[in-house]
Structure 1
Amino acid sequence: MHRSPSRRAVLASATVAAASATGVVGVTATPAVAHGRDRRLRTIMSKMSVEAKIGQLFVPYFYGTSATTPSQFDQDRNLKELGVRTVAELIAKYHVGGVVYFSGWANNIQDPRQVAELSNGVQRASLALPTPVPSLISVDQEHGANVRIGGGATQLPGAMALGAGRSYSDAWTAARISGTELAALGIHQNFAPVADVNVDPANPVINVRSFGADARDVGRMVAAQVTGYQQVGVVACAKHFPGHGDTGEDSHTGLPVITHSREEWERIDAPPFRAAIAAGVDSVMTAHLQVPALDPSNEPATLSPTILQGVLRDELGFEGVIVTDALNMRGVRTKYGDDRVPVLALKAGADQLLFPPDIAVAYQGVLTAVRSGEISEERLDESVLRILRLKDKAGLLSGSPYVSPKEVDRVVGARGHRIAAARIAERTTTLLVNEGRTLPLRRGRQKLLVVGASPAFPTDATRSTVPELAAAFEALGYRTTHLATGPAPDAAKIDEAVAAARGRDAVVVTTDNVGATSAQRTLVARLLATGVPVIHLAVRNPYDIAHLGGVRASLAAYCWTEVELRAAARVIAGRVEPRGRLPVPVQRADDPAEVLFPTGYGLSYDD
């Protein structure tokens, strides 16, 4: 075991990621070129009414798979929450500068062809405005645990998995693949990569969405992904400024406080954002949290001029678009009403106003502030100009904003993309324990039981981890049965799993966010007691192993998507060597001062 200092000392040892260390430096337009571009964009802006300019700031949600003909159910929800029937009507009413797609609850995403047609419909509505300006269509396609576009699109390892792969080239390749497919779908802004440094294992909102706990490595990964996205014409967005990696509270449901000193913030939180800016990132997303060391007033960062203007723009030199995190989140609504939050965000320095909970209230709030002089038209023009620059850089103002169904078929989910994703995933699976050379499994017609927690796929609730992992082993030649026991198995389900293990050559047990009182611990202990070899696979947090004593073989997959499950199965079966290395330290559950597995740890089959 490895002794470590206190958590405070662990924070103090985080390394600085110098922007030059990323190996990627942003390229900016020459003054003459920038001046000519801005003159052209100001001409467009001069034709806009104040109402149209305000609309350019907003990036709302909507329901439905079509811009003009949603289902009755989606139409009713749009009427209830947005006051319009369709997204085309939303654009016409508020002149919005962009929209954001969501799968699941918003029903925006079914398959690639449908998404492309939806994008074309959004653009047709935008070009029908009195001052026709194409929409900047956005999405949260981080990959891994946070995916919006699933079926048909290439699924790639998420941030912490890429951090385990420790390959900046793989991070760059993943972003290029993702960006190429998003562009083919008519999406030109991706709210990725996550630039938060996850130094709190209990972080409920970031966790595996982060590349890791080392500021230097996170900065390099962020810079690589920024470059990969923007080289294929997709706007990248580094988030969540000034850093959300050391909080035990979720800003969706509360207002977290980051207790880092200014010196700690400089060493731990700032480096990935500095690296992103050095790489030329086009947009940065704010965080709804308090950082007293940066702003003693304790305003949420999204509403803090000290943080957005003073730190992000003046100190770090960021000149691009500042995007608020979703304005429906509790973290930014604890102190002010929904009419004031967007006004205060703009006054703080934000440009794009994402996901207002009530578009009518938010829009009217900003309009009132502009008409009263609280927000000057000059300040409004600053944000609109930045947004138009973004649209111009994405190619929306110099050519057709429409996408081709044939290009969708050729690009999205292309065979070469899927092969690259599979190879990248294989380089991320991390072997943590392998006592007595339990792994790799012997080849042949061995009988396996796959059991345990079985979270649904992020993009397809009809598919889940345990049966998909069992299918992956079947494809490798094993005789496999499976039993999903869930995240909190009761005594009857555990007894059923133990009975199913008898007569098997090995058991693969999946875990998902094991805690000190988790029934998953009991399941693993009971399976170990059968004497059948047990292989543990953490399908989300690599920290699970800290709660599972006696396990003789354990691996971390960092997520439960198909590409990561297949990679883990191939590693367990010995088809490929385990090459992943922990991007975070795993500390003892009962004594966090003691590190079980340090950052950079990972076994191979030769060890």
Structure 2
Amino acid sequence: MIPSGEVEVLRPLFAAVVVAASAASAPAGAAPAADPGAADQVRAVTTLVRGMTLEQKVGQLFVTYVHGQSADEAHPGNLRDFGVATPAEVVARHQPGGVVYFNNSSYDNIDTPRQIAALSNGLQAASRIPLAVSTDQEMGLVTRIGPPATQFPGNMALGAGRSARDAERAARTTARELRAMGVNQNFAPDADVNSNPANPVIGVRSYSSDPALAAELTAAQVRGYQQHPLSPHAVSATAKHFPGHGDTAEDSHTSLPVVDRTVEQWRALDAPPFEAAIAAGVDSIMTAHIRVPGIDPSGEPATLSKPAIDLLREDLGYDGVVITDSLAMAGVRQLHPDAEIPVLALKAGVDQLLMPMNLGEAIGSVVAAVRAGELTEQRIDRSVLRVLRMKLLRGVLTSPPTSPARVDSTVGAAAHLATAREITDRTVTAVRNDAGVLPLATRPTAPLVTGWGETATRTLASTLGGTALPTGTAPTEAQVATAVRAAGAADLVVVLTNALSRQPAQRALLTALLATGTPVVAVAVQNPYDVAHTDAPTWLATYASGTVAMASLARVITGEVRPSGKLPVAVPGPRPYPFGHGLGW
């Protein structure tokens, strides 16, 4: 049980919830009065915490995956990983504070919006304390829930659009749809400043290489996701990956990257978006599995580093929830046994522990550490209270189950799709137009779309009314020859590229198509760094390859929309382009 004196911790931790809820309910211009409803909720949480066992409190600190698409689906993965058959049984047995949804073959939680809502309702029904239901709906490159949910092109595209209003509208729309499906915590926005063009894991997930622009849009999206206290349409935002994953040349999913920054450099380059998120009231901040020797010379990843978390808590003054990145990633597992990692993270100052390798073992290791005196129960209490405060602030502790009618009327609503179209149209960037190919004088009658991306090429070809010829990441000589023959019958060729600077076969395809004499438009559909590595006279950048981005690209190519995006990163290479470059016509 929580000691009666320690309940006093509730006062500073929950006071902001009462004030914020009161302000939200006050008439415009009026001083907020006490909100009895919010005060009642705080008292209820106080009583809840007093009645929790140590095991229940420790469980609140963990966010786990589950296998399956319905709460009562028997899945062999659950038996293997948790010793029970269904997702509901996982929740009932281990009483975690949250669950996280994925759309991959390993966990496979996502099919349709109604299915997601039913899964959320079923898991909430199995939990003694309402769950933080989370996913990674960053949009763009990292999107767990696809159509019919409204799609946006992602952070770097928003950086090209240069509009904080658009960034906030995109987040607000995404939050409304997530909440309708029973998801109440989004692991977004990505607040990393992508200062390394060779970064293999961030790239277009970042708004910009400019700290000020990244900070402005991070704050805007935090506001959009979280809206106002107790909103039934909001989700907890999660700024990631602290202290900043933007200057890595390795992927922390498979290695432990090193960022060579001094504390002063970190403050200037990586800290501003996190400071902006905190000023905007962000509910949670996710740590990175990276080494920063200038912050902590011990060699520990930031997730397990007290000096790194102290920067967040003390230097930046953050008292919200700190959550780890997945504890199944290689970057956090290289130095310690899996059972020790949750204890070390809590010692460093973390609150939520995401996806440990063995949930039962992880909970047991933390409980054992408390009973052995390695961690105090008061330390556990503080993190539990932060987690419950987050749930209280977003109305999770009192929310009714989501309804199928709400799902159908909200997810993919016509107004949301129109918003996505408007925003995405403002992100396409014209980087080069040396030959004056664009804007087209007349709409092409026989366009060929080729290059990277099976889905992207076919989507764009369908929109333009042309032929698709996907050639993949590394086109073969035979594929190049086929594309050249097809270009002979086309009146326009559009070549989609992705990581062309590292793929000589993509450059060979583009060079061969330029030699045909048919007008060619090259398009970097992920990182814009491709544009510096060929002499193609016409280059556009979309920063995303999804349906909404390809539709906007088609409108720019055909002249329906004028390009207005500006490069949100500097593009180095043989033909470099500065931050902010962008053509118009």
Match of 1:469, SS state, is: helix
Which residue is equivalent to 1:182? Answer: 178
Tell me, yes or no, if structure 1 residue 497 matches structure 2 residue 497. Answer: no
Equivalences for residues 192-231 of structure 1 within 5 A:
192-231=188-227
Which of 450, 461, 467 matches 2:458? 467
1:497-528 alpha-carbon deviations (Å, 9 max, x no partner) = 11110021110000011134520000000001
Per the TM alignment, residue 298 of structure 1 is displaced from its structure 2 partner at its CA by 2.2
Q: More deviation in 513-522 or 31-40?
A: 31-40
Equivalences for residues 532-547 of structure 1 within 5 A:
532-547=518-533
Distance 1:156 1:79 in 2: 36
Q: Give unmatched runs, 5+ long, in structure 2.
A: 1-15, 21-33, 228-232
Per the TM alignment, residue 39 of structure 1 is displaced from its structure 2 partner at its CA by 4.6
Tell me, yes or no, if structure 1 residue 487 matches structure 2 residue 473. Answer: yes
Tell me, yes or no, if structure 1 residue 404 matches structure 2 residue 403. Answer: yes
Distance 2:568 2:443 in 1: 34
Match of 1:597, SS state, is: coil
Tell me, yes or no, if structure 1 residue 153 matches structure 2 residue 149. Answer: yes
Output the TM-score relative to the length of structure 1: 0.88
Task: Kindly tell me the number of residue pairs found equivalent between the two proteins.
Answer: 549
Per the TM alignment, residue 437 of structure 1 is displaced from its structure 2 partner at its CA by 1.4
Tell me, yes or no, if structure 1 residue 599 matches structure 2 residue 579. Answer: yes
Distance 2:92 2:367 in 1: 16
Equivalences for residues 41-52 of structure 1 within 5 A:
41-52=45-56
Q: Give unmatched runs, 5+ long, in structure 1.
A: 1-26, 127-131, 456-463, 475-479, 590-594
Amino acid of the residue matched to residue 479 of structure 2? K
Which of 158, 163, 167 matches 2:159? 163
Q: Cα gap change, 1:202/1:111 in structure 2, threshold over 3 Å: closer, same or farther?
A: same
Per the TM alignment, residue 445 of structure 1 is displaced from its structure 2 partner at its CA by 5.2
Per the TM alignment, residue 588 of structure 1 is displaced from its structure 2 partner at its CA by 1.2
Per the TM alignment, residue 36 of structure 1 is displaced from its structure 2 partner at its CA by 7.4
Distance 2:469 2:44 in 1: 62
Per the TM alignment, residue 149 of structure 1 is displaced from its structure 2 partner at its CA by 0.5
Which residue is equivalent to 2:426? Answer: 427
Per the TM alignment, residue 57 of structure 1 is displaced from its structure 2 partner at its CA by 0.8
Which of 573, 579, 585 matches 1:588? 573
Per the TM alignment, residue 559 of structure 1 is displaced from its structure 2 partner at its CA by 0.8
Tell me, yes or no, if structure 1 residue 520 matches structure 2 residue 511. Answer: no
Equivalences for residues 186-585 of structure 1 within 5 A:
186-231=182-227, 232-308=233-309, 310-400=310-400, 402-444=401-443, 446-454=445-453, 464-474=455-465, 480-549=466-535, 551-585=536-570
Amino acid of the residue matched to residue 423 of structure 1? E
1:175-213 alpha-carbon deviations (Å, 9 max, x no partner) = 000000001011000000011000101100000000010
Amino acid of the residue matched to residue 422 of structure 1? R
Distance 2:299 2:364 in 1: 27
Distance 1:516 1:398 in 2: 51
Amino acid of the residue matched to residue 58 of structure 2? I
Amino acid of the residue matched to residue 82 of structure 2? L
Distance 2:444 2:430 in 1: 24
Which residue is equivalent to 2:121? Answer: 120
Distance 2:141 2:399 in 1: 35
Distance 1:168 1:195 in 2: 14
1:388-432 alpha-carbon deviations (Å, 9 max, x no partner) = 1111111122342x1010000000000000011011000000000
Per the TM alignment, residue 360 of structure 1 is displaced from its structure 2 partner at its CA by 2.1
Distance 1:76 1:388 in 2: 32
Distance 1:583 1:151 in 2: 27
Residues 28 and 280 in structure 1, CA contact (< 8 A), matched pair in contact too? no
Indicate the structure whose relative CO is greater, using CA pairs within 8 Å and at least 6 residues apart.
1
Moved runs in structure 1, 4+ residues, more than 3 A? 27-40
Distance 2:499 2:77 in 1: 34
Amino acid of the residue matched to residue 49 of structure 1? T
1:339-379 alpha-carbon deviations (Å, 9 max, x no partner) = 00011001111111001122122122112112212111111
Residues 532 and 577 in structure 2, CA contact (< 8 A), matched pair in contact too? no
Q: Cα gap change, 1:273/1:548 in structure 2, threshold over 3 Å: closer, same or farther?
A: same
Q: Cα gap change, 1:280/1:168 in structure 2, threshold over 3 Å: closer, same or farther?
A: same
Per the TM alignment, residue 35 of structure 1 is displaced from its structure 2 partner at its CA by 8.4
Amino acid of the residue matched to residue 145 of structure 1? L
Distance 1:406 1:155 in 2: 21
Residues 60 and 356 in structure 1, CA contact (< 8 A), matched pair in contact too? yes
Distance 1:177 1:443 in 2: 36
Residues 138 and 190 in structure 1, CA contact (< 8 A), matched pair in contact too? yes
Residues 286 and 325 in structure 1, CA contact (< 8 A), matched pair in contact too? yes
Distance 1:295 1:39 in 2: 40
